[in-house]
Amino acid sequence: GENVEQHPSTLSVQEGDSAVIKCTYSDSASNYFPWYKQELGKGPQLIIDIRSNVGEKKDQRIAVTLNKTAKHFSLHITETQPEDSAVYFCAASKGLTGGGNKLTFGTGTQLKVEL
Amino acid sequence: GAGVSQSPSNKVTEKGKDVELRCDPISGHTALYWYRQSLGQGLEFLIYFQGNSAPDKSGLPSDRFSAERTGGSVSTLTIQRTQQEDSAVYLCASSLTGTGMSEQYFGPGTRLTVT
């Protein structure tokens, strides 16, 4: 089955700096890659996603890149703010080819944005 | 509008007891997922319901775990003869459909502690 690895497990940055979180996946059939933000005591919330026929996607301060050949994808947050502090999870699925969009998650990155 | 709701928010039970966890998905969402989040781990897929189709139970860790979805809406996850290793946060998610890039909306989870 699919295996998703995520690094780093913790990341501390100064406010205004950029943060990068990286994930690798094992199943070349995976075609959908969402990123979730989870705040303490809450369920994960989708912040951005990318499908396998796209190499990069951007939404304001957040961007995701995908390298299908190397089977890795990354989350980039620019101009970080204290409210960006949370746990971020990457995930992968074969949802675009049917059979349900069950997600395989990475182990999470605790991002701390310091003032 | 109302999001995904789960009850109870916390459950403490003794080893060997049965527990039932409830999920109320967003109205109109045809797909429903259960995930488990253990301490310091990512989210682990358990089971997936799509409309009236047979559920995908491929993620259930043992036959002590079962789930049902009545009337295509509310779902109940049942754990029989609970063990300490069952302690985790159980998250439910729903999406408009089970295919493509249909976003999964997560509930706040049920924190289960088995003593």
8 Å CB contact of A101 and B44 = no
What is the reported pLDDT for B100? 64
- The sign of the torsion formed by the CA atoms of A40, A43, A45, A50 equals positive
Q: Please tell me if residue B34 touches chain A, with a CB cutoff of 8 Å.
A: no
Among residues A106, A103, A92, A23, which one has the least CA distance to residue B40? A106
Q: Please tell me if residue B96 touches chain A, with a CB cutoff of 8 Å.
A: no
What is the reported pLDDT for B72? 78
- The sign of the torsion formed by the CA atoms of B91, B94, B97, B103 equals negative
Residue contacts between A and B (CB atoms, under 8 Å): 73
* B28-67: pLDDT as tens digits: 999 999 999 998 678 999 999 988 888 999 999 999 999 9
Range ranked top by mean pLDDT from A73-82, A100-109, B26-35, B90-99: A73-82
Q: How confident is the model at residue B102 (pLDDT cuts 50, 70, 90)?
A: confident
Q: Please tell me if residue A7 touches chain B, with a CB cutoff of 8 Å.
A: no
Is residue A99 over pLDDT 70? no
8 Å CB contact of A51 and B41 = no
The vertex-A51 CA angle with B75 and B97, nearest 5°, equals: 25
B98 to chain A: closest CA residue: A100
- The residue whose two tokens read 């996946």 is A25
What is the reported pLDDT for B1? 59
Interface of A with B in 53-82 (CB under 8 A): none
8 Å CB contact of B104 and A106 = no
